[in-house]
Structure 1
Amino acid sequence: MPIQLKPTFRDTLTERVLSDDGRPLAGMWVNSGSPLVAEICAGSGLDVLFVDMEHGPNGIERVLPQLQAIAGYPPGVVVRLPGLLAVMIKQVLDLGAQNLLIPMIDTAEQARAAVRAVRYPPRGIRGIGSALARSGRWGRVENYLADGDDHVSLMVQVESTEGVRNAAEIAAVDGVDGVLVGPSDLAASMGLIGQQTHPDVTGAVLRTVEAVRGVGKAVGVNAFDPALADHYMSAGAHFVLVGADVVLLARGSEALAERFAPTTG
């Protein structure tokens, strides 16, 4: 029997933020590689989860059970690839990921290459295999191939001084649904490694937010500092990633140790 896929993150942004000026969406990273942790986070009430293949122990085999664990819960789920890797993009899409984030995008040409990787021919280079894969639910999603673009959304990550300069051109690429600004790598590219809250870094982030909004696309920011997250939301970010599962576990366990097992001597 026919199966309906969940709306894409693009659809969520359009419905809840871009069309009616609703509140910015709040999300978090899932870096642990654990389906159990992913499911716990999925029930938290946050709007979106980003499963991270770039900086976490998440290979193809680990991503699939996390997608399955999150599927029964309201949040959208975006998978961040390790880079602009067309073969891996095809594999992750066939796992059933509907929303992808490609990191380290510096130019409009790189953004166009990312778009080609997520689209079927003749508009792109994605291989045809939905009848064999979870993406088309093994042939149970009607017209999956013909409607393939409707089932996939693409975000790209701007996280360098070059990317900031080209932000408007990157965002304007047809098929790019939004931009995520990465202050950590941006700070490093500015010679300010580890200083995400430096005024020069936050200024570059805000310029990027303005540039992306100027071409009518969604823009998000990575900001674990609550005050800075509030600032970026007030400045026009459509979504903000405010934490990560592994960071919450690290800081939470440290707080327990400080309270109940303080170091002496």
Structure 2
Amino acid sequence: MQTSIRYNKIIELLENDQIVFAPALVSNGPSDDVTYIADSEYDMIMIEMEHDGFSFESLKATLNTLLNRRRIFENKTLQPDVVPFVRIPPNANEKNQWIIKQTLDTGVYGIIIPHLTTVQDAIEVVSACRYPQLRTSLYTEPAGQRGWSNKYAPRYWGLTPEEYYDACDLWPLNPNGNLILMAIIEDQEGVDNLRDILSSVQGIGIIWAGPGDMAVSMGLGTDSAHPEVQQNLLRILETCKEFGVACATAANTPDQVLLRIEQGFKVIITPVSKSYPGLTAGLDYTQRHKS
């Protein structure tokens, strides 16, 4: 049961069965795309460090670009309007704890792990995202292995180090947590193992059904619209529904946005555009425009 302040708006939306809208991955570094998104009606931003370069200094600059002091003042909340997530370079089975640790230490609210395929990899990724818990904690497994640092993240969240430690556990493993682990299922092994993963491992807040690498891994090249790929995306969705885990996927047109919402996807990823056509269609459909 949640008993503390909710600093992550994405969790609040999912707990209230709302649709979350995200732009397609944005290159790391302060840019026009980042400022457009920061001032938009998107709920989150996904910063790309898997394919577009890996730099913590650029990430810190990107996070600072997202800050809007007037909105913080007017909204009277520490929740970011647009919540920063980062897709890191290593796949889940590479077990690069230090990259997870240093990414979280910049102050992001969500981390995106590519190519999750096995239960053991899920356990190790969850452990890498969590601090070791207090002796009195009710949520001790998987045991946290994240090293402690209070240099950047508490300041970015607007909290004391003690408040940040209390707030930054993984949701929904810890109902009071404010971090989200989003794992991408993007090959046949991941699809086949997803039920075992979600039944065995707590701590994954969102599963992203990824069509691009899914098509490539299935020997279909870049044909992400292939019926076998689409069938796998729906298999992922149905497994997520079974375990009450939000499922994300891409929607490249307004019609696709509406279709994915009707199918039951809870996180809709649309192309970045100054006019936000897919986002606008989704917000119209769900009546979620900001006042």
Q: Matched residues in 1 for 2:183 and 2:48: separation?
A: 14
Q: Matched residues in 1 for 2:161 and 2:198: separation?
A: 30
Report the TM-score when normalising by structure 1: 0.81
**Residue pair 1:25, 1:239 contacting (<8 A) in 2 also:** yes
Structure 1 partner of 2:77: none
Structure 2 partner of 1:145: 165
Instruction: Report whether the alignment pairs 1:82 with 2:93.
Output: no
**Residue pair 1:39, 1:66 contacting (<8 A) in 2 also:** no
Tell me the amino acid that sits aligned with residue 140 of structure 1: T
Tell me the amino acid that sits aligned with residue 183 of structure 1: P
- Residues 1:144 and 1:33: Cα distance change in structure 2 (over 3 Å): closer
- Aligned equivalent of 1:208, options 236, 257, 278: 236
How many residues in Structure 1 have an aligned counterpart in Structure 2?
Answer: 236
Q: Matched residues in 2 for 1:208 and 1:88: separation?
A: 27
Structure 2 partner of 1:42: 38
The offset of 1:102, in angstroms, is 0.6
Instruction: Identify which range, 177-186 or 73-82, moves more after superposition.
Output: 73-82
The offset of 1:69, in angstroms, is 1.5
The offset of 1:135, in angstroms, is 1.1
The offset of 1:222, in angstroms, is 2.4
Q: Matched residues in 1 for 2:229 and 2:222: separation?
A: 11
**Cα RMSD over matched residues?**
2.4
Report the TM-score when normalising by structure 2: 0.74
Structure 2 partner of 1:32: 27
Structure 2 partner of 1:9: 10
Structure 2 partner of 1:165: 192
**Residue pair 1:8, 1:99 contacting (<8 A) in 2 also:** no
Q: Matched residues in 2 for 1:221 and 1:228: separation?
A: 10
Q: Matched residues in 2 for 1:5 and 1:232: separation?
A: 27
Q: Matched residues in 1 for 2:13 and 2:28: separation?
A: 25
Map 1:125-136 → 2, pairs under 5 A? 125-130=145-150, 133-136=151-154
The offset of 1:198, in angstroms, is 1.0
Q: Matched residues in 1 for 2:86 and 2:36: separation?
A: 17
Tell me the amino acid that sits aligned with residue 144 of structure 2: G
Structure number, greater radius of gyration: 1
Instruction: Identify which range, 135-144 or 83-92, moves more after superposition.
Output: 135-144
Q: Matched residues in 2 for 1:125 and 1:8: separation?
A: 25
Structure 1 partner of 2:110: 99
- Aligned equivalent of 2:217, options 172, 189, 193: 189
Consecutive unaligned residues of structure 1, counting only runs of 5 or more, are 249-265
Consecutive unaligned residues of structure 2, counting only runs of 5 or more, are 69-79, 134-142, 170-176, 277-291
The offset of 1:225, in angstroms, is 4.3
Residue identity (%): 28
The offset of 1:62, in angstroms, is 1.0
- Residues 1:176 and 1:104: Cα distance change in structure 2 (over 3 Å): same
- Aligned equivalent of 2:125, options 103, 106, 114: 114
